[in-house]
Amino acid sequence: MICPQCQKQNQEGANYCPYCGYSFQEVNLHVNRNELSNKQHFQNTSFIKKRNEDGQQLQMQMPPNQTQTVKFFSQFMTFFINGLKNPSQYAKYQGGARYVFGYIILGLAALFHGLALAMVYQIFDRALSFFSSSSYSFFSTFVVHLLIYIAILALAIGLIFVFVRNIMRINVKFNHVIGRFGTLAIVLLLCNITALLFTITGFIGLQSFANGLGSAVLFFIIMMTFQMYTDEAKKRFEPLYGSMIIAALITILNLVFSNSTFVDIFL
């Protein structure tokens, strides 16, 4: 064994160099750390199988960013399927751990709701264009209803957070509420997707039914989110009354947004 410091020959297994005093234990420790790092890197690296021109199967390393994307998508699909199977039970154990997925679910729910309503406006606008000129732009209608739905969801979640923190006296973060509410909102997302599909296929009556069902589901989600925090509350609070207050405010907000003067300003 050659000393890396003085370049002199040493016996195998020596702990230090007798000529310059260099410690070989530092070298061994450095080598072991490199081996451990390489092993962990190998375990965390994803591989894909491909065939070359000769038909031989090759194992190729997946790029790090692609690996992270696949892992994130896999986790999201697991979250979505579990939340769909048993939303009320699964949502209890999410909280802040899955708040990112909660934001994604709520964003998608608002997106599909906006698209469905914009398409309905477009269908009726085309039907009435025989009598008058077209008055609604698909994009502006979509953006307005998307923002209205986001405002409704933000109001509901914000008020739940205020009630939970200040009345029920539970020390939780806003993202914790998002995690639970977003898990329950998987069902709401399905209602909005169904409404969009009915609109695309021309079943406007069924689209109205799906929209109404989505509104009912939203109010159930509000009450169930309250109910989840009831067992953890330091101060007793009736979730039904909190849900009714939020439902009343959402109804008022809907009336304001559906006012023809308000719609005309933005459309």
pLDDT tens across 113-170, in order? 999 988 888 877 665 555 555 566 788 889 988 999 999 999 999 999 999 999 888 8
Q: What is the DSSP letter of 50?
A: E
**What domain count does the chain have?**
2
Domain contains 56: no
List the single range of 71-75, 131-135, 184-188, 242-246 with lowest mean pLDDT. Answer: 131-135
The answer, yes or no, to whether residue 107 has pLDDT greater than 70, is yes
Domain that holds residue 153: 78-266
pLDDT of residue 110: 96
For the ranges 4-8, 61-65, 211-215, 233-237, the maximum mean pLDDT occurs at 211-215
Coil, helix or strand at residue 84: helix
pLDDT of residue 267: 46
Same domain, 119 and 170: yes
From residue 250, give the alpha-carbon distance in Å to each of 35, 103, 242: 59, 20, 12
Mean pLDDT of the chain: 78
- Per-residue pLDDT band for 266 (boundaries 50, 70, 90) equals very low
Domain contains 59: no
Same domain, 82 and 186: yes
Domain contains 62: no
Domain contains 247: yes
Same domain, 27 and 112: no
Domain contains 51: no
Asked whether 119 and 195 are in contact (CB, 8 A), the reply is no
List the single range of 30-44, 66-80, 142-156 with lowest mean pLDDT. Answer: 30-44
Same domain, 21 and 87: no
Other beta carbons within 10 angstroms of residue 160's beta carbon come to 25
Same domain, 155 and 41: no
Can you give the pTM of this predicted structure? 0.71
Same domain, 86 and 142: yes
Same domain, 164 and 83: yes
